Structure formats: structure tokens, C-alpha cells
């Protein structure tokens, strides 16, 4: 699938769960999307997932329904060459929650993208100031914490780093509003607002499983039925990826130096054994089917 580079508007880097959701949401909103990942198989799976999700989400939320899912896919170009990002107007980075990986990717993108291109960095817990320091444009780097599943979640947490300009924040919010998202701006702090709270809840839920207080289904049912959550904490963890949850807690524990963020030993055990949630087929629940 190829497209004229002049029509590319937004580059989404990383074809994991969040990148797939972002590419889907932006394309449904009418943007031309360039989805990049080093793994061609991940890109192939992404297109299959987006086509399936366009149909499913259209049934869940009628305003997301489209006559022909192929029209959404026609707005998405995929590729394995990060250099293709050079033709984009704005960019959302979604690579794995790892300092070294993000540094490598952001440093390279900084070299190939035009100086005025704003970088939205999607991270669960890494401070935006740190990510901005990996580039020569920290004033144009802003946190864009998308919520999962991206096409169904209208609200986005926007986090300026200490050097992010007000113009960059305004431009990124305008871009997000243009694809149907609302935004809340919060200050730069590990985990920001949503994940600083959510990761604690997930970690405590894992402790409850480890202690035998309840099984995952019971915990999630109680949180949905009694507290009105759309998804329980362990369902959410499986969706996010248990490896991402573990890394987020480790970042929080390091930056805030608070024992409450130390990951549950059961969570670490699951990750080390390859039980990563939906993406591996098994986490707190089985997704073999």
C-alpha cells in the first residue's frame, strides 16, 4: 500500500497497541497517516487489526461507523524506514516504554524531521523533560498520553515538559481536537495524573491475586459493578501489556522513590515467564481463542 508523500499529514511511530489505535483514530477522522515500525509483520498485523476494529467500534459507537472500512485503510501508509517521517506535519511516538529505545528513535527522528515539526511522545510514566532531552528541539516535544482503546477514548492527557513552548502545546491540542479528541493539560511528573493513580490500582489488584483474596474475575467485576469502571484493573493491565505496566511501575518507583510503587513480585513473575496479556495470548486471563 503506497501513497504520495505530499498527502502524509501525521506519522505514528510504533505499531503496538497504542500505535495501532492512534493510526485507526486519526484515519477515521480523515487524516492521512504514516504508520512506521521496524517489524513488517507487526505492520501487517496492524492493518488487519485496524480493519477488524473499524467494524467492531462502528457497532459500539455509531458516530465511528464508516460505510467501507477499506476507505480507512486507504488513508494509512505503512513502512519500516523511519526516514519516511521526514514528510510529516506532526508526529506521535509510541515505541516501547524503554529509555534506550526511545532515545534512539527520538534522536533519529529529530535528525530527519523538519525543525518545526512538533513531536508528541506517548509514554506511561517517563518524564517529558527526559524525552525532550533526546532531541535538539525540547521546546517542540510534548507528552501526548493517549488512552486505550484510542478510537473509543476521546480524552487525551497532554503534558508539556519544562522546556516545551506554549505554542507547541497549543498546536498539539489543536491537532488532537481536529481528530475528535479533547485534552486536559497537566504538569510534567512521572506517571502524570492517570498512570500515577492507575498503576497503583493495578499493582494493588495484583497483590490481591497473589494473596488469594480474590481471583482476577472477582476483582474486575467488583471494580466495574461497585465503582462504575468500564474495565477492571486486571483487564486493563492485560490490554496495556503487563510488561508496560511493570516498566511504568519501575519508572515511578525510581523517580518518586516511594515503596508503594514497587511492582508486585507476581507481576514480575508473569512478565518474566512471557505472560504479557492480550498481545501474548495469556496474562491474568487467557486469550487463546
* 289 residues of the chain, pLDDT tens digit each: 434 444 448 999 999 989 999 999 999 998 999 999 999 999 999 999 999 999 888 777 777 778 787 889 999 999 999 999 998 999 999 998 888 999 999 999 999 999 999 999 999 889 999 999 999 999 999 999 998 889 999 999 999 999 999 999 999 999 999 999 999 999 999 999 999 999 999 999 999 999 999 999 999 999 999 999 999 999 999 998 999 999 999 999 988 878 899 999 999 999 999 999 999 999 999 998 6
Cross-strand pairs, 160: 142
- Would residue 289 count as lying in a domain? no
What pTM value is reported for the model?
0.87
Active-site residue, from 24, 145, 229, 255? 145
Helical packing angle, 242-256 and 194-210, nearest 10°? 110
99: annotated active-site residue: no
* 285: in domain: no
Q: Distance of CA 190 to CAs 5, 27, 149, 214, Å?
A: 36, 30, 22, 30
Q: The domain spanning residue 43 has which CATH number?
A: 3.40.50.720
At 102, list the grid cell.
526511545
Give me 238's grid cell. Answer: 492485560
Residues 144 and 251 in one domain: no
The CATH code of the domain that includes 211 is 1.10.1040.10
Residues 239/21, Cβ–Cβ less than 8 Å: no
Q: Give the residue numbers spanning the domain of 16.
A: 5-185
Amino acid at each position: 500500500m503506497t501513497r504520495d508523500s505530499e498527502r502524509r499529514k501525521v506519522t505514528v511511530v510504533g505499531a503496538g497497541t497504542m500505535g495501532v489505535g492512534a493510526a485507526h483514530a486519526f484515519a477515521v477522522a480523515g487524516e492521512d497517516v504514516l504508520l512506521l515500525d521496524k517489524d513488517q509483520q507487526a505492520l501487517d498485523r496492524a492493518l488487519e487489526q485496524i480493519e477488524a476494529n473499524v467494524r467492531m467500534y462502528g457497532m459500539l459507537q455509531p458516530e465511528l461507523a464508516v460505510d467501507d472500512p477499506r476507505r480507512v485503510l486507504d488513508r494509512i501508509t505503512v513502512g519500516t524506514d523511519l526516514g519516511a517521517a521526514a514528510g510529516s506535519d506532526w508526529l506521535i511516538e509510541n515505541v516501547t516504554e524503554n529509555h534506550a529505545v526511545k532515545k534512539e528513535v527520538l534522536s533519529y527522528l529529530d535528525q530527519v524531521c523538519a525543525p518545526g515539526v512538533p513531536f508528541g511522545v506517548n509514554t506511561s510514566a517517563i518524564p517529558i523533560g527526559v524525552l525532550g532531552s533526546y532531541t535538539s528541539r525540547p521546546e517542540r516535544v510534548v507528552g501526548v498520553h493517549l488512552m486505550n482503546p484510542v478510537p473509543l477514548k476521546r480524552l487525551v492527557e497532554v503534558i508539556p515538559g519544562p522546556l516545551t513552548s506554549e505554542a507547541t502545546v497549543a498546536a498539539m491540542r489543536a491537532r488532537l481536537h481536529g481528530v475528535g479528541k479533547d485534552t486536559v493539560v497537566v504538569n510534567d511528573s512521572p506517571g502524570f495524573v492517570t498512570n500515577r493513580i492507575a498503576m497503583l490500582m493495578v499493582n494493588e489488584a495484583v497483590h490481591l491475586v497473589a494473596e488469594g483474596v480474590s481471583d482476577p474475575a472477582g476483582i474486575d467485576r467488583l471494580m466495574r459493578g461497585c465503582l462504575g469502571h468500564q474495565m477492571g484493573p486486571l483487564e486493563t493491565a492485560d490490554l496495556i501489556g503487563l510488561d508496560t505496566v511493570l516498566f511504568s511501575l519501575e519508572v515511578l518507583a525510581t523517580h518518586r522513590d516511594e515503596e508503594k510503587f514497587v511492582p508486585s513480585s507476581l507481576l514480575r513473575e508473569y512478565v518474566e515467564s512471557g505472560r504479557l496479556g492480550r498481545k501474548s495470548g495469556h496474562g491474568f486471563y487467557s486469550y487463546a481463542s
